[in-house]
Amino acid sequence: MKSSRVMIVQDEALVAMMVEDMLGDMGYEIAGSFGAVHDALAFLGSDQPRPDGAVLDVNIGGEMVFPVAEALREQGVPFVFATGYGDLPRKGFESVEVLAKPINIGALRQAVGKFHSEN
């Protein structure tokens, strides 16, 4: 089985590195790690191969990640949200799984494992 490619959108560099390390330890390839919504959207609009899944922080430098989530949904790419906020506005994304920060490796493994069945 080839490695699945997971995209990360996270504005906190240490958190992004931690998620990259956890996913790498699980055998996933990092499709791209982005600290800004516009960078993630540019990647998704490029000719790069689409990721097999994504882990999205909800608040990226004061900007909500929902445009990226919508682009992923349009491309048929499954994703999960990661947030330190208890209650977040998710209009239109209520069915998307939310991982609480700090991210637990077991919860992350279970969430990204579902990407295979959704693709």
92-106 residue pLDDT tens: 888 899 999 899 999
Looking at every residue in the chain, the average pLDDT score rounds to 91
- Who contacts 85 (Cβ-Cβ below 8 Å, separation ≥6)? 58, 59
Give 35-81 pLDDT, tens digit per residue.
999 999 999 999 999 999 999 999 999 999 999 999 999 999 999 99
pLDDT band (50, 70, 90) for residue 84: confident
> Residue 1: its pLDDT value, please?
40
Banded pLDDT at 11 (limits 50, 70, 90): very high
Q: What is the pLDDT of residue 86?
A: 66
Which three-class secondary structure state does DSSP give residue 31?
strand
**Exposure string for 51-88, b = 16+ CB within 10 A, e = fewer:** bbbbbbbbebeeeebbebbebbeeeebbbbbbbeeeee
